[in-house]
Chains A and B, each alone.
Chain A
């Protein structure tokens, strides 16, 4: 029992002394492992997180699912609420009601009812001068405003019912919204008696998750039509795919370079110590024991180096996330095992390989310096 413990202590002592006596080389081997592990960690972390991060950017394109009530039908407030419950935290569901009204000049104009705070979140690209705050205020499209003569107050008539509106601000999008007048759903309902006929949903997640949500929504809404906005979903999938492939291949190359440098450094280190091994051998150590010693050393180097590298890599990924996406990239512990495993594999290969070459040489020749 005692001899085994002292054997263990001796082993540890040899490992430590070997590192201490050749500080410089041990340090450069350590640096190489740390750099490789940090690069691998950071790249893997970014690669795994880029979908969520870019997904957030893509959500700014607005709705990727549209629910339409169908011809002449509309959604009751309860139905809108149930859609909202189904979507839950996965996204945003915003109701829209539309009708054609007449201005005082008898021009047809589309008046839409919506939930302003939600619409603001759904469509961040709307360039709005000021959002309506209270009932009776309207958000007027820039073209509609020009057609109305840029009024601060105006009247629209639907089916003989006039509605007096005050303009809170204008909206500019370059699309259909520019020709419309937006009012709140409540104002819209009390004026026309109509309910929203369209619910636009901006859902987070992969194409599969969005399909699943559509499948889940459809049966709860008989007669209505739930469809993906292909313009948005296809564009997103395309860009995400290409970005991820670019990231993956560049990570591959970076990690390969770092790994090769670990190989170069460690092989140099082992060759450099051939005299030590020769002495060990001359003192009676078997090849197997030397291999065990060296691989133990490599293992410690890999574990410590990969651990430190992992921490650095997480920090680098977090910094890149903060600098580019203004949100840190979530550290993923699931990366740790592959990074440790990779570090272990590469250090073992780069130490045991030169050792095999050295084994063929007689210790006497090495000690003589040949």
Chain B
């Protein structure tokens, strides 16, 4: 009975561990989106950025712009399902209280449509560390957010009004990001466009995409690849290939990975994946050894039974067959139950830790069953061999 539980539990743990090892990469890359955008799209023929700290010194009349109308097309690229979020940005300088302040136009959580697909994107999902005291402004309103440092400098709070560009604007909330935005005003994109006098323009698009850690192949120039390799490159979610596809849909743009986020995410991801893989191997070996130890003991206990069968004339072959079939049946039964509970376990673990379930591929069932049979059989094989060799007299007398 205990042996059956051991086989079942061993299979369940192995299945769950395989599920975790194969699914963790995907889960962690989603969690890594907490670092924000890992790709940035800028105009192809842009002049240099002139930014020091939170102040954008670039004259707003110079430089090129991206077309806001092309944004929904991002959801139409090959890897559109890997695009977690994107946010356009348009900085423009305004005068408040005698000082130049950067007003950043962006989406907060704007509903966009591509074909028949509706989706929501904006700063709230792209930059999860942005915190607002008060309310987020609606994307169609003329409400603004004021960075916390600027707010204390200007002595404004959520609900008060500020005026710039000849208009009064309600401050719907105070923004805290721990970055340059703390000294800026963040407003709906449409408002920034009106202030800049550039309808439909954006300076940058930040894209947060779920990518595969880049390797040597990812860094190859797509134009130098053979057609087959190029297809393979195009159809892998490398940051480079997603950047390439973004460039295809946004006219006159240049998309590139943000190395700080992209490179390091790749490192962290491969470390965690590697760790889980090694632990899974360790778990499989542990379960295998432990189950075979339990199996060997269980077999050994039954030597009187063997003795009796032998005394009644059972041959070595039929005797071994009985035990082999028995252990295979045990492995099959334990394996199936274990696989089912292991799948459930992985599912629940994923839900508990990552908020979305970890799936175990049903294709793994035969593999797991084969391993279970191998381990159970391996554990009992020595015991069976010994049992078959017993002198039935000794076994029955209990002296073996």
Residues of chain A with a CB closer than 8 A to B298's CB? 264, 268
Expressed in whole angstroms, the minimum distance between the Cβ of A321 and any Cβ of chain B is: 9
Given contacts A98-B52, A100-B57, A231-B129, contact A323 B262 (CB under 8 A): no
Q: Are A32 and B48 in contact (CB under 8 A)?
A: no
Q: Does B98 interact with chain A (Cβ within 8 Å)? A: no
Expressed in whole angstroms, the minimum distance between the Cβ of B260 and any Cβ of chain A is: 5
CA separation between A60 and B270, bound complex, in Å? 14
CA separation between A323 and B281, bound complex, in Å? 13
Binds B, one of A11-19, A42-50, A216-224, A280-288: A42-50
Q: Does A39 interact with chain B (Cβ within 8 Å)? A: yes
Residues of chain A with a CB closer than 8 A to B234's CB? none
Expressed in whole angstroms, the minimum distance between the Cβ of B144 and any Cβ of chain A is: 21
CA separation between A264 and B287, bound complex, in Å? 13
Q: Are B297 and A25 in contact (CB under 8 A)?
A: yes
Residues of chain B with a CB closer than 8 A to A83's CB? none
Given contacts A57-B264, A250-B20, contact A239 B28 (CB under 8 A): yes
Q: Are B58 and A264 in contact (CB under 8 A)?
A: no
Interface residue from A25, A60, A249, A272 paired with B353 (Cβ < 8 Å): A249
Q: Does A293 interact with chain B (Cβ within 8 Å)? A: no
Residues of chain A with a CB closer than 8 A to B354's CB? 242
Interface residue from A108, A228, A325 paired with B178 (Cβ < 8 Å): A228
Q: Which of A105-151 contact B (CB under 8 A)?
A: 107-110, 123, 125-127, 143-144, 147
Q: How many A-B residue pairs have CB under 8 A?
A: 241
Residues of chain A with a CB closer than 8 A to B296's CB? 24, 28, 265
Q: Does B123 interact with chain A (Cβ within 8 Å)? A: no
Q: Are B53 and A198 in contact (CB under 8 A)?
A: yes
Q: Does B6 interact with chain A (Cβ within 8 Å)? A: yes
Residues of chain A with a CB closer than 8 A to B27's CB? 242
Q: Are A57 and B48 in contact (CB under 8 A)?
A: no
Q: Does A76 interact with chain B (Cβ within 8 Å)? A: no
Q: Are A253 and B13 in contact (CB under 8 A)?
A: yes
Q: Are A108 and B50 in contact (CB under 8 A)?
A: yes
Interface residue from A108, A123, A243, A249 paired with B272 (Cβ < 8 Å): A243
Q: Does B274 interact with chain A (Cβ within 8 Å)? A: yes
Q: Does B64 interact with chain A (Cβ within 8 Å)? A: no
Interface residue from B5, B262, B398 paired with A174 (Cβ < 8 Å): B262
Contact string against B for A residues 315-330, beta-carbon threshold 8 Å, 1 for contact and 0 otherwise: 0100010011100000
Residues of chain B with a CB closer than 8 A to A98's CB? 52-53
Residues of chain B with a CB closer than 8 A to A174's CB? 39-40, 256-260, 262
Residues of chain B with a CB closer than 8 A to A316's CB? 282
Q: Does A104 interact with chain B (Cβ within 8 Å)? A: no
Expressed in whole angstroms, the minimum distance between the Cβ of A135 and any Cβ of chain B is: 23
- B276 nearest CB neighbor, chain A only: A246
- B128 nearest CB neighbor, chain A only: A234
Interface residue from A123, A246, A264 paired with B349 (Cβ < 8 Å): A246
- B40 nearest CB neighbor, chain A only: A174
Q: Are B49 and A57 in contact (CB under 8 A)?
A: no
Interface size for chain B: under 10, 10 to 19, 20 to 34, or 35 or more residues?
35 or more
Residues of chain A with a CB closer than 8 A to B34's CB? 234-235, 238-239
CA separation between A253 and B18, bound complex, in Å? 13
Expressed in whole angstroms, the minimum distance between the Cβ of A204 and any Cβ of chain B is: 15
Q: Are B353 and A242 in contact (CB under 8 A)?
A: yes
Q: Are B179 and A229 in contact (CB under 8 A)?
A: yes
Expressed in whole angstroms, the minimum distance between the Cβ of B311 and any Cβ of chain A is: 14
Q: Which of B240-278 contact A (CB under 8 A)?
A: 256-264, 267-268, 271-272, 274-276, 278
Q: Does B9 interact with chain A (Cβ within 8 Å)? A: yes
Q: Are B47 and A173 in contact (CB under 8 A)?
A: no
Interface residue from B13, B177, B293, B398 paired with A254 (Cβ < 8 Å): B13
Q: Does B78 interact with chain A (Cβ within 8 Å)? A: no
Q: Does B2 interact with chain A (Cβ within 8 Å)? A: yes
Q: Which of B280-330 contact A (CB under 8 A)?
A: 282-283, 286-287, 289-291, 293-294, 296-298, 300-301, 304
CA separation between A36 and B274, bound complex, in Å? 23
Interface residue from B50, B264, B291 paired with A261 (Cβ < 8 Å): B291
Q: Does B140 interact with chain A (Cβ within 8 Å)? A: no
Residues of chain A with a CB closer than 8 A to B304's CB? 369
Q: Which of A311-367 contact B (CB under 8 A)?
A: 316, 320, 323-325
- B386 nearest CB neighbor, chain A only: A24
Q: Does A195 interact with chain B (Cβ within 8 Å)? A: no
- B255 nearest CB neighbor, chain A only: A174
Given contacts A108-B50, A246-B349, A250-B279, contact A172 B386 (CB under 8 A): no
Q: Are A257 and B10 in contact (CB under 8 A)?
A: yes
Q: Are B278 and A108 in contact (CB under 8 A)?
A: no
Residues of chain B with a CB closer than 8 A to A68's CB? 53
Residues of chain A with a CB closer than 8 A to B261's CB? 61
CA separation between A110 and B53, bound complex, in Å? 11
Q: Are B297 and A35 in contact (CB under 8 A)?
A: no
Q: Are A176 and B51 in contact (CB under 8 A)?
A: yes
Q: Are B129 and A234 in contact (CB under 8 A)?
A: yes
Residues of chain B with a CB closer than 8 A to A254's CB? 13, 17, 282-283, 286-287
Expressed in whole angstroms, the minimum distance between the Cβ of B252 and any Cβ of chain A is: 16
Given contacts A147-B47, A260-B9, A275-B398, contact A61 B294 (CB under 8 A): no
Q: Does B231 interact with chain A (Cβ within 8 Å)? A: no
CA separation between A108 and B56, bound complex, in Å? 12
- A268 nearest CB neighbor, chain B only: B297
CA separation between A242 and B27, bound complex, in Å? 10
Q: Does B24 interact with chain A (Cβ within 8 Å)? A: yes
**CB pairs A–B below 8 angstroms (29 shown):** A28-B296, A35-B293, A39-B283, A42-B282, A46-B275, A60-B263, A60-B264, A108-B50, A108-B57, A110-B51, A110-B52, A143-B49, A174-B262, A175-B259, A175-B260, A230-B129, A231-B178, A235-B32, A239-B272, A242-B31, A246-B353, A257-B9, A263-B2, A268-B2, A268-B298, A271-B301, A272-B300, A275-B398, A323-B278
